[in-house]
Amino acid sequence: MSGELLSSKVVVVEEEPRVRGIPSAPTSVAAAVGVTERGPIDTPVLCSSFEEYGANFGGFTRDANVALAAMGFFENGGTQLWCVRTVHHTDVSSPATATARRASGYLTSPGGPTPALVTGTLPAPFALDDGAKLVVAVGGGADKEAAVKATPATVTAGGAGPFALADGQTFTLRVDGGPVQRVAFAKAEFTSIAAATSAELAAALNAGIVGAKAVVEKGIVHIVSDTAGTSSRVEITGGTANAALGFPTAPTLGTGNVANARAVTPDEVKAIAEGAIAGIKVSTAPGGFLELRTDGAGPTAQLQVRAATAAALGFDTALHAGTASGAANALRVEGKDPGAYSNAIEVEVRTPTSGEAGAFDLAVVDDGVYREFFANVRMTPGAARHVETIVNDAANGSALVRVIDQLLPGAPALAVQTVALAGGDDGLAGLTDGDFIGSPVGRTGLHALDRVIDVAVLMVPGRATPAVHAAILSYCEVDRAGTMFAVLDPPAGMGAAAIVTYVESTAHLLESSEFGAFYWPRVKVLNPARAVFGSDDAIVVPPSGIIAGVYARTDAARPGGIYDPPAGIDVGRMVGVLGFETDEVLEEKKRDLVYPKRINPLTTGPGLPRFIDGSRTLKSSGNFPYVSERRGVIFIERSLKLGLQFARHKNNTEGLRATVRRTITSFLLTQMNNGAFRSREPAKAFFVDVSDALNTATVIFAGKLLARIGLATNKPAEFVVLRISQDTRALDAELAAAGG
């Protein structure tokens, strides 16, 4: 308080808090990336129950491992699960290239004039080039055109050379959001590596990079992406050679009006064509075929595609005209999400229950069962019960379909009819590891989670391959800066010896990261859908969803539950598990084979539940090599990072550093009392150093405040050793007495 007090009084002044509260970071929010029956693609959706998962992503299918993981997660105590649906992409850096397709069909309006209609014969996506055109004549008028524009990303060397390189120097780059590629230069590739020519440099680069090419123009080397369009991207990420080459390190992007000219989507064609050519509408017929139609209707409505149009679009060049009277496509009905699930959907138009003129009722039938009903809807745009407004409403509309009014002149009413949707595809043909790994540029696969900050546990159910396992670990440790923990599934059908070979040699997972744990074998659960999985009572599923559920249950069991190892016959009990894919795991000798390789067995014994029999991360030499240790430290680090935001941009004074020290100490005392450390004595449990010796003048002038924290974390009792010997105390006493 400043200023002079003018009279006698009691003044209350609140001081800055000496200890700040540290909010607890979430520990058991899980994420699953993989195949689902339906749902949005490459879009994270938070589900808080298995019923909510079903509402967003559908049910069980042969390929939908995420559904099985979600069932195990919620059954074992999980409460929050972010789900990401993946499908095959022709270009993972471009979400628009997802190959899943919506089933669709048209409801017609009879008796009125119809528009001119041209339907393509080649399905999307369309392989086009920069400058590819759609040229049409509308209503007998002059030709009008729309063109694809697409240029590739290009980076250019700093000069024409020669370049002073050295044997063994490296050059790294990333193309179209893919993995970092490394080129090592060898002196044998050059006449004189210390004076490398542009042609020699381009040849060396082309021998080592994929997805791009090095070209020489007027003596200058350019690296050009093979992709043309806005998803094209080249980024020079490092290497010892670039100091001599002079390539810019800022990412360069392609340009244009499509993401990838070689995989143009129907939506991109629609945007380009309708934006450039007046009087036409573009839509997609079942199977991914393009449809062009005129805005007007009747015999004077004419449409002709010209020969200059790109052949890949599949249009004929005949003259098409509307009719004076006939059935016209008035309302397009599509699956709400892409996928084959909607091939089983029918939509019925019924006489309105209200009897109002121009109104109709709409019923949605799924696999022969009436699921949804929308009464007294209309084809009149702007009306309160316009069919698009009602059916497509985000809160109260359909969970199965969406509708698109074709905006026929006069908004004619629909006839009573039924249409079966067709052409839906799950987009699983050609599915690769890359579709699950995804791209940070397109935010596909794992990278769809980039903007979800509270995920603590990550799994990719059912995709147990070396590339995916490596990517999950890298995403947790590198992309998310060690704030997430991975649960890895085993490949199918592997016994003890095979799984050791996989972890140690095939996938090189052993000692690779302490930010993930590997569990074996796959487990048997009650068959949840005999129509899908057959008549057997039990099916074999990946265990990651169940394991993540056990993590969540353990975390929530008590304050500090995250510090308890999620293993053993009590804490590690797995609900819903009936058995194991292989009985080898029941043999102690087999478990003795896998556990030293940091593979956590899932097992049981006489009178025991089925439980997790291990709590090791994949790395023994890490700072925190056990699951509860590593996850506990992740929790502490995330909480401190969140709780110390108040210190940023404040003056770095002794008072601020004292507040930081007290705040950290107070938080760690609470964690100590919750069982985080090996001792309940603060001096033995942890230390916090924010001293002047650490925060020297140089550090302070650099704008930094340093705090060093040491944690004496708990270690689980992996082995209980019983030393048994003959009791010789009586004999020893007798001998002692005789000797005395």
> What would the pLDDT profile of 471-516 be if each residue is shown by its tens digit?
999 999 999 999 999 999 999 999 999 999 999 999 999 999 999 9
Q: What is the distance in angstroms between the CA of the first residue and the CA of the last residue of the chain?
A: 84
Give me the sheet containing 289-294, strands edge to edge.
117-119, 289-294, 280-285
Q: State the Cα torsion 631-635-638-640 to the nearest 10°.
A: -140
> Domain for residue 475, yes or no?
yes
Last residue of a domain, one of 373, 405, 425: 425
CATH number of the domain within which 228 lies = 2.60.40
Task: Kindly state the DSSP code that residue 414 receives in the 8-state scheme.
Answer: P
> What would the pLDDT profile of 521-571 be if each residue is shown by its tens digit?
999 999 999 999 999 999 999 999 999 999 999 999 999 999 999 999 999
* In contact, 212 and 224? CB cutoff 8 Å: yes
> What would the pLDDT profile of 626-669 be if each residue is shown by its tens digit?
999 999 999 999 999 999 999 999 999 999 999 999 999 999 99
Same structural domain for residues 451 and 408? no
> What would the pLDDT profile of 202-235 be if each residue is shown by its tens digit?
999 999 999 999 999 999 999 999 999 998 999 9
Is pLDDT of 7 > 80?
no
Across all residues in the chain, what is the average pLDDT? 93
DSSP string covering 185-216, please? --GGGSS-GGGB-HHHHHHHHHHH-SSEEEEE
* Torsions phi, psi for 279 (to 5 deg): 95, 5
The CA distance from 365 to 349, in Å, is 11
What is the chain's alpha carbon radius of gyration, rounded to the nearest angstrom?
Answer: 33
CATH number of the domain within which 397 lies = 2.60.40.4290
> Domain for residue 691, yes or no?
yes
> Domain for residue 221, yes or no?
yes
Last residue of a domain, one of 222, 256, 290: 256
From the centroid of its chain, how far is CA 463? 13
Interstrand relation of 516-520 and 485-488 (parallel, antiparallel or unpaired): parallel
Same structural domain for residues 440 and 570? yes
Same structural domain for residues 391 and 446? no
Calculate what percentage of the chain has a pLDDT beyond 70. Answer: 99
143-144-147 Cα angle (round to 5): 130
State the pTM of this model. Answer: 0.81
Looking at the DSSP bridge assignments, the partners of residue 689 are: 708
Same structural domain for residues 62 and 112? no
Same structural domain for residues 76 and 187? no
Looking at the DSSP bridge assignments, the partners of residue 46 are: 82
Number of domains within the chain: 4
Question: Which of 370-384, 585-599, 600-614, 704-718 is predicted with the least confidence, judged by mean pLDDT?
Answer: 704-718
Can you give the residue range of the structural domain that contains 327? 101-116+322-425
Same structural domain for residues 459 and 607? yes
Same structural domain for residues 684 and 544? no
Same structural domain for residues 486 and 595? yes
Mean pLDDT of 147-167: 95
Mean pLDDT of 130-154: 96
Is pLDDT of 586 > 70?
yes
Q: Is 182 helix (H, G, I), strand (E, B) or coil?
A: strand
The CA distance from 387 to 522, in Å, is 48
Please tell me the number of Cα atoms within 13 Å of 350 on its side-chain side: 15
Give me the sheet containing 133-138, strands edge to edge.
143-147, 133-138, 302-305, 319-321
> Domain for residue 381, yes or no?
yes
The CA distance from 174 to 183, in Å, is 11
142 exposed, middle or buried (CB, 10 Å; 0-12, 13-18, 19+)?
A: exposed
> What would the pLDDT profile of 396-447 be if each residue is shown by its tens digit?
999 999 999 988 888 888 989 999 999 999 999 999 999 999 999 889 999 9
> Domain for residue 640, yes or no?
no
362-365-369 Cα angle (round to 5): 135
Same structural domain for residues 662 and 735? yes
* Token digits of residue 370: 């009436």
Same structural domain for residues 464 and 588? yes
| CA dihedral over 92, 94, 95, 96, signed as positive or negative | negative
> Domain for residue 505, yes or no?
yes
Q: How far is CA 116 from CA 266, 289, 297, 330, in A?
A: 19, 16, 7, 13
Query: Does an H or E element contain 84, and which?
Result: strand 81-85
Is pLDDT of 720 > 80?
no
Is pLDDT of 2 > 60?
no
Is pLDDT of 1 > 70?
no
What per-residue confidence (pLDDT) applies to 5?
66
> What would the pLDDT profile of 346-394 be if each residue is shown by its tens digit?
999 999 988 888 899 999 999 899 999 999 999 999 999 999 999 999 9
> Domain for residue 184, yes or no?
yes
Task: Show the 3-state SS of 16-63.
Answer: CCCCCCCCCCCCCCEEEEECCCCCCECCCEEECCHHHHHHHHCCCCCC
Looking at the DSSP bridge assignments, the partners of residue 366 are: 345, 369
Same structural domain for residues 659 and 696? yes
Same structural domain for residues 515 and 612? yes
The CA distance from 216 to 203, in Å, is 10
What per-residue confidence (pLDDT) applies to 356?
87
Last residue of a domain, one of 559, 594, 629: 629
The CA distance from 726 to 73, in Å, is 49
Mean pLDDT of 679-685: 94
> Domain for residue 315, yes or no?
no
Pick the residue with more confidence: 161 or 16? 161
Provide the b/e sequence for 87-124 (b: ≥16 CB within 10 Å): bbbbbbbbbbbbbbbbbbbbbbbeebbbbbbbebeebb
What per-residue confidence (pLDDT) applies to 153?
96
